[in-house]
Amino acid sequence: GAGVSQSPSNKVTEKGKDVELRCDPISGHTALYWYRQSLGQGLEFLIYFQGNSAPDKSGLPSDRFSAERTGGSVSTLTIQRTQQEDSAVYLCASSSTRGNTEAFFGQGTRLTVV
Amino acid sequence: GESVGLHLPTLSVQEGDNSIINCAYSNSASDYFIWYKQESGKGPQFIIDIRSNMDKRQGQRVTVLLNKTVKHLSLQIAATQPGDSAVYFCAEKENAGGTSYGKLTFGQGTILTVHP
């Protein structure tokens, strides 16, 4: 596609439910990132995929969070047993190589846990 | 480092003034740096980048300065306009190897407000 696509754009869920957030990166991009952004705050790194390498999961805040990337393309971020503190905008980005190229961001998924 | 649970610093300027936004990066092995602009309700967008073998790069109304000695990055915006109001993030990327190879790490971010 023309850019990074995230779905849904908005998600309201009840506390305790599981949610799945989807990211379609730019075709051919080998690197994919997930970030979380709370209102008025910075970008919190969650997880990084690079090609076939093991993902860098060092930013996942708890074992309720997981992510996978199928076929080196689409990625799904799953949050189990959601809590109110999980409410935030979840941003996905992709880039072409490990070299000197910028990452392109999607518009994000706004998650609200009620 | 990561910006977690921090409220962002702010910079307020008058339209037409020059703005300078600063960023301290953490990894001396980082060799590529990017400035992003994030408008309300949108994802961050690329503004300008610089490689570690340079200390200055200019774009249209924007200049990035890199001081590797003190691990400092700055973004200068000339003749700031109301449309420049946004959150600005610096980012660093390490391409030297290891488990964080190619990972993009963001700075804290600065809220720029331009008054007409």
Per residue in B8-42, pLDDT (tens digit) is 899 999 999 999 999 999 888 888 999 999 999 89
Residue of B nearest to A108 (CA): B43
Q: Is residue B18, in this structure, part of any structural domain at all?
A: yes
Instruction: Please name the member of A42, A56, A107 whose beta carbon is closest to the beta carbon of B100.
Output: A56
pLDDT higher than threshold 50 for residue B2: no
The per-residue pLDDT for A98 is: 58
Q: Does residue B16 lie within any of the structural domains?
A: yes
Residues B93 and B34: their CA atoms lie apart, in Å, by: 8
Give A-chain residues touching B101 at CB under 8 angstroms. Answer: 50, 53, 98
DSSP three-state, residue B84: helix
CATH of A5-103, one of 2.20.140.10, 3.30.365.10, 3.20.20.20, 2.60.40.10: 2.60.40.10
User: Does residue B5 belong to any structural domain of this protein?
Assistant: no
Q: How many domains does chain B have?
A: 1
The pLDDT score that the predictor gives to residue B4 is: 38
Mean pLDDT estimate for chain B: 89
B92 belongs to a structural domain: yes
- Identify the band that residue B1 occupies on the pLDDT scale cut at 50, 70 and 90: very low
Residues in A closer than 8 angstroms to B42, CB to CB, are: 107-108
Q: What is the CATH number of the domain that holds B108?
A: 2.60.40.10
pLDDT band at B98 (very low <50, low <70, confident <90, very high): low
Residue A104, pLDDT above cutoff 70:
yes
Is B42 close to A100, i.e. CB distance below 8 A?
A: no
Q: Is residue B82 part of a domain?
A: yes
pLDDT digits (tens, 9 = 90+) for A29-78: 989 999 999 988 889 999 999 888 889 999 999 999 999 998 879 999 99
DSSP letters of A26-90? PTT--EEEEEEE-TTB-PEEEEEEETTSPPB-TT--STTEEEEEGGGS-EEEEE-S--GGG-EEE
Range of the domain at B23: 10-115
pLDDT of A95 strictly over 60: yes
Residue B19, in any domain of the structure: yes
Closest by Cβ to B3, choosing from A43, A103, A106: A43
Chain B residue with Cα closest to A94: B104
Smallest Cα distance from A46 to chain B, Å: 10
Residue B3 domain-assigned (yes or no): no
Chain B residues whose C-beta is within 8 A of a chain A C-beta are 2-8, 31-32, 34, 36, 42-46, 49, 51, 89, 91, 93, 95, 99-109
**Neighbouring C-alpha atoms within 13 Å toward the C-beta of B86:** 20
Task: Tell me the domain boundaries of chain A.
Answer: 5-103
Cross-chain CB nearest to B43 (options A95, A99, A108):
A108
Name every residue whose Cβ is closer than 8 Å to that of residue B112 and which is 6 or more positions away in sequence. Answer: B10, B11, B12, B13, B19, B21, B77, B80, B84, B85, B86, B87, B88
